[in-house]
Amino acid sequence: MTATPPAGSETGTAEPGGAPPPARRRALVILAAVAVVAFLVDLLTKHFALLGLSDGGPVKLLGGAVYLSLTRNSGAAWGIGGDHTWVFPLITTGVIVWIGWMAVRLRSLPWAVSLGLVLGGALGNLADRIFRAPGHFVGHVVDMISLFDPYGQVWPVFNLADSSLLCGVVLAVVLELTGRQRDGSRLGRDKAADAVPAGQRERA
């Protein structure tokens, strides 16, 4: 008897010539597309922020709930680690390698979106670290979005790369909590299906 893949799984088999199966190809395309869009949108917003916010004060939006205020951050949130800027490109490189490892068994489209958001955000801030002043691999990240008053707020000033990273991580947590796996299977549902005797499944 030929074993069948778990319910909800889209593992597929490799195509002739070693090409990845369709489910994995779709997931990788989605991952790459989301990452590219997140990276380009972050790059454009930073470009416009440098052009429009360099010489003026904060721009108030939504009645003061959001401010646009240009900041160059040498560290992480709240400037943490600002004296060790060179560490952040190493951390980001590790994140990118981790995403590559996660993509090996990737078949799930929600997971592809999650990893694409994390990858796009990581690349957006890594580009700042590598290419912006004051020097290669010690560049300061361009931030411009502040919630509430930028002079008295407790939330760190951030950019769209940070938002992309956060959304990707939150989505990954939700997927883990709901049992959705990178290979397209779902833990709770697949275990329940395996527990039903074969004869009952055939009669159902």
Check 42, 128, 162, 183 and give the catalytic one.
162
Active-site residue among 83, 143, 149, 190? 143
Going from N- to C-terminal start, the domains of the chain cover: 21-184
Which tens digits make up the pLDDT trace of 56-95?
A: 778 888 888 888 989 999 987 656 766 778 899 999 999 9
pLDDT tens across 144-184, in order?
Answer: 998 876 566 567 889 999 999 999 999 999 999 999 999 99
Does the active-site annotation cover 162?
yes
What DSSP element (H or E) covers 138? none
85-100 exposure pattern, b = at least 16 Cβ within 10 A, e = fewer: beebbeebeebeeebe
Buried b (16+ CB within 10 A) or exposed e, 114-126: bbbbbbbbbbbbb
Structure token pair of residue 26: 């779709």
Per the annotation, the verdict on 143 as an active-site residue is: yes
